[in-house]
Amino acid sequence: MPYELKTRFAKFLQYLAEALDISETRYKQAEDRYQALGKWLGRQESILAPYHPEIYPQGSFRLGTVIKPISDAEEYDIDLVCEMRLEKERVRQKRLKEAVGQEILTYTQANNMKSRPEEGRRCWTLNYADGAQFHLDILPALPDGNSFRLLLESKGLSNDWSGLAIAITDNTLPNYDLLDPNWPQSNPRGYAEWFRERMKTQFESQRKFLAESIQANVEDIPEYRVRTPLQRTVQILKRHRDIMFGEDQDNKPISIIITTLAAHAYRNEGDLLEALINIVNGMPLYIQKIGAVYWVANPVNPLENFADKWGEHPQRERNFRLWLQQVQKDLNRALQSEDIQAISELLKPRLGERVINEALQKFPKSDIGKSPAIPAGSVGILSGRYHEPPKIEIRNPSKPWSDA
């Protein structure tokens, strides 16, 4: 692929990722809703008020990797944590969860909402019926940094984010209704800090560039306005995954594995096409096989394996491997295409016609057709001097993961 077409392809991917992104209006709407809920939970009359409840986002909404639903009939899933200042030794999981659920119920009643909170295994789900196209999943939690730090130290382990750990509820556990300090643990803020660290160079650079472009201070640029090549790559990969496994939602590659492996493989490339290719090639290198167990470690909790279900459901490991190989094949074919129009037709069945068309609308029509031949001596985006055709290596398809 000529240098100029690579440049256009990288720009096309940028427009494509922007088409996948949640709109600023929708983002602010979701933010306003969960902040309003947080104020309600902490109001003076609330039974939670003495414990200073704090609502904050987790998951893709916090990481900046949320993507639009494939159809307007689907909803955004906004994951939240409701963390209270209370020691887990002083309360049962069940009592904490019921108290949060009770206050969410009073919130829906006070706001004349038709929908009532629905209880899940760990969360309360709050649906909106006013065309918001999202729902909130609220996870009751307590701070658990000290206990988690001691647990890691007992195993000879440590990390910089252990102090941000939380204890969470799970109504399937035998001690759910017992006064027992052994609660499930999580660390969404720690994970977000780790993810941010993986893209720190590009994040700071892009935030500074955006501030300069509108003559503002860097601190005045909201973090959600910045999207690095890592975040954009994760968005593109998640949409490719969603469409490929539209008929098999139970066994599709899960977002936390995609996000973790992508962040490990990212090297703060500034170019989206370069980042996408390098990440797709690098992701398998961070999957270990310990004995007979595939292992994708939680970077902020080395005791947790994000791939723990692969042993119980081998099809999920096979699907992940097949999906990653398909992404590699699609990129190879795109890189061998003659123009943006050909690339867009190739990617429509992989990423969706709607987002492809939105990306094309932003693209100058004069740049959609064939590019001029590469000038002699030009330097390629992806590596030193350009060679025809560029390839993406598929590493050992029959044995895709490393042993450790």
**pLDDT at residue 364, as a whole number:** 75
Q: Amino acid identity of 264?
A: H
- The 10 Å Cβ neighbour count of residue 285 is 13
DSSP string, 329-347: HHHHHHHT-SBHHHHHHHH
Which pLDDT band, with edges at 50, 70 and 90, does 302 fall under? very high
Instruction: Say whether both 94 and 10 belong to one domain.
Output: no
Instruction: Say whether both 133 and 180 belong to one domain.
Output: yes
**pLDDT at residue 106, as a whole number:** 97
Instruction: Say whether both 44 and 56 belong to one domain.
Output: yes
Q: Is residue 135 part of a domain?
A: yes
Instruction: Say whether both 175 and 29 belong to one domain.
Output: yes
At 54-83, the pLDDT tens digits run: 999 999 999 999 998 887 767 788 899 999
Domain interval for residue 124: 24-186
Q: Which two tokens stand for residue 266?
A: 């990212």
Instruction: Tell me 81's DSSP state.
Output: E
Rounded Cα distance between 252 and 242, Å, is 8
Q: Is residue 401 part of a domain?
A: no
Instruction: Say whether both 46 and 179 belong to one domain.
Output: yes
**Average pLDDT value for the chain:** 87
Per-residue CA distances from 350 to 72, 242, 285, 335 (Å): 18, 9, 24, 15
**pLDDT at residue 35, as a whole number:** 94
Instruction: Say whether both 50 and 139 belong to one domain.
Output: yes
Instruction: Say whether both 180 and 90 belong to one domain.
Output: yes
| Coil, helix or strand at residue 130 | coil
At 198-215, the pLDDT tens digits run: 999 999 998 898 888 888
User: What are the E-state strand segments in 144-268?
Assistant: 166-168, 185-186
**pLDDT at residue 115, as a whole number:** 86
- Range 182-201 average pLDDT: 96
Rounded Cα distance between 295 and 280, Å, is 18
Q: Is residue 210 part of a domain?
A: no
Burial class (CB in 10 A: 0-12, 13-18, 19+), 368: middle
Q: Is residue 81 part of a domain?
A: yes
- Least confident range from 18-32, 92-106, 275-289: namely 18-32
User: Terminal CA-to-CA distance of the chain, rounded, Å?
Assistant: 37
List the CATH number of the domain containing 50: 3.30.460.10
- The 10 Å Cβ neighbour count of residue 156 is 6
